[in-house]
Structure 1
Amino acid sequence: MGRAGQSLVRVAVVVRAGAAPLWWLGVLAAGIGFLIPGLTGRRVGGYAGAALFLVCAAVVVLVRRRRYTGWADAATRAGKFDFLQDRAVTVRNWRRAHRWWLLGAFLAAVACSFAVPIAVGLALSGAGTGLWLKAGWLGRREERDEALLWVRTDWAGEGRPVGAQVKGYRTTGLGAGDAVPGGARRRR
């Protein structure tokens, strides 16, 4: 009787999938906000946006860090029959699942520019930067441990690699999959 494998998705790729859309939509919203004078003016909006950028990036990097390390420390080796999901599929699935949230965040950032220009757009960019930094942190941990972190696709849901459904991580060697440690595309 054959043994069935499970589909696994890279943890760092799921984290990194939202970084680029959030960053670019934030920059676009901040650019549109720069064109709108707003109630507080561009200078106040720019200073507030810079502060929000730093705060959002720091919060996103630090939130749930203990859960990531806990699951990584308790990770088991991936099975022989497990399927490793491609990076492009993971990114596409994440962006499809979150497209309405991204659109809503962009529209909210543009709408807030009528009160405080630039600020909310830079906060959105800060969140994207925080995701990118968190993926980099995961990549450094993967290189240190010489093991890539994977989670079952059904547990990760719609882009939550440390959500309530997650019951553990799996590991493979650094050569597995089509993404380098940290979730970036592997150069051929």
Structure 2
Amino acid sequence: MGRGGYTVARVAVLVRAPVGWLWWLGLLAAGCGLLVPGVTGRRIGVLAGAALFLIALAVAATVRRGRYGKLAGAASRAGKSVALQDREATVRDWRLAHRWPLVAVFLVAVGASFAVPAAPGLLLAGTAAGLWWKALWLGRWEHEHESLLWVRTDELPRPWALGGPGHAAVSGYLTTGVVAGDARPGGARRRPEDVPVR
């Protein structure tokens, strides 16, 4: 990717952005489903939910990892004219763009939880755990290569499209040094002790 005046967001921050929302909405949906026995009964629902949690965790943690690795391996250095979007703005933009998909997924999970108690909610929670694991994997890559991965915001897919920063529409990543931006490797909030003294 060449140089130019555009905005880029951290790849790991985008991967982490859904985690908190999916986790708590999933637990809330599971709790709502446990209020009634449901069609299958609570015991079967919880056992099915535990299995779905593990499956969703594995899928979310591994899907498109090859694509992420390929884009990371071919990443080019970000030019000086590139604007680095801060972590808070990236998370806020993601939340605003995905608020209706989140509402829809939550309502579907709540409705289905009354049929199979806890299972749909635990599916959402498992997805959150898998995305968190993927963000940690990206963080390990960034640590090992001493580079942070960024993606152009104008190449990110629309809210209803799956794939995030690993989507086919993304042509490549950019890299910066590990002190750039306000998020640590892996997308977590940067702590004061992470900033080097100049």
Shorter chain as denominator, the TM-score bin is over 0.9
Matches within 5 A, 1:90-101: 90-101=90-101
Counterpart contact for 1:5–1:82, Cα < 8 Å: yes
The answer to whether residue 186 in structure 2 is matched with residue 182 in structure 1 is: yes
Cα-Cα RMSD: 1.2
Counterpart contact for 2:32–2:114, Cα < 8 Å: no
1:164 to partner: Cα distance: 2.3
The answer to whether residue 83 in structure 2 is matched with residue 83 in structure 1 is: yes
Q: Can you list the C-alpha shifts for 1:14-63, whole angstroms capped at 9, x where unaligned?
A: 01000110000001111111112101111000000000000001001110
Percent identity, please. 61
Counterpart contact for 2:34–2:114, Cα < 8 Å: no
1:37 alignment partner AA: P
Counterpart contact for 2:4–2:79, Cα < 8 Å: no
Which stretch shows the higher mean deviation, 161-170 or 114-123?
A: 161-170
1:163 alignment partner AA: H
Whole-Å separation in 1 of the counterparts to 2:165 and 2:57: 19
SS in 1 for 2:57: helix
* C-alpha distance 4-145 of structure 1, shift in aligned 2 (>3 A): closer
Counterpart contact for 1:36–1:113, Cα < 8 Å: no
SS in 1 for 2:169: coil
Whole-Å separation in 1 of the counterparts to 2:175 and 2:114: 48
Whole-Å separation in 2 of the counterparts to 1:76 and 1:113: 46
1:84 to partner: Cα distance: 0.2
Whole-Å separation in 1 of the counterparts to 2:39 and 2:156: 42
SS in 1 for 2:81: coil
Whole-Å separation in 2 of the counterparts to 1:158 and 1:80: 27
1:5 to partner: Cα distance: 2.1
Counterpart contact for 1:94–1:158, Cα < 8 Å: no
Give the corresponding residue for 1:169.
Answer: 173
1:157 to partner: Cα distance: 3.8
1:146 to partner: Cα distance: 0.5
2:33 alignment partner AA: G
Counterpart contact for 2:45–2:119, Cα < 8 Å: yes
1:4 to partner: Cα distance: 5.0
Whole-Å separation in 1 of the counterparts to 2:158 and 2:184: 22
1:158 to partner: Cα distance: 4.2
2:180 alignment partner AA: A
Give the corresponding residue for 2:107.
Answer: 107
SS in 2 for 1:35: coil
Give the corresponding residue for 2:15.
Answer: 15
Give the corresponding residue for 2:136.
Answer: 136
Unaligned runs of 5+ in 1: none
Relative to the length of structure 2, the TM-score reads 0.91
Counterpart contact for 2:71–2:172, Cα < 8 Å: yes
SS in 1 for 2:165: coil
2:144 alignment partner AA: R
Report the number of matched residues. 186
Whole-Å separation in 2 of the counterparts to 1:20 and 1:37: 27
Give the corresponding residue for 2:6.
Answer: 6
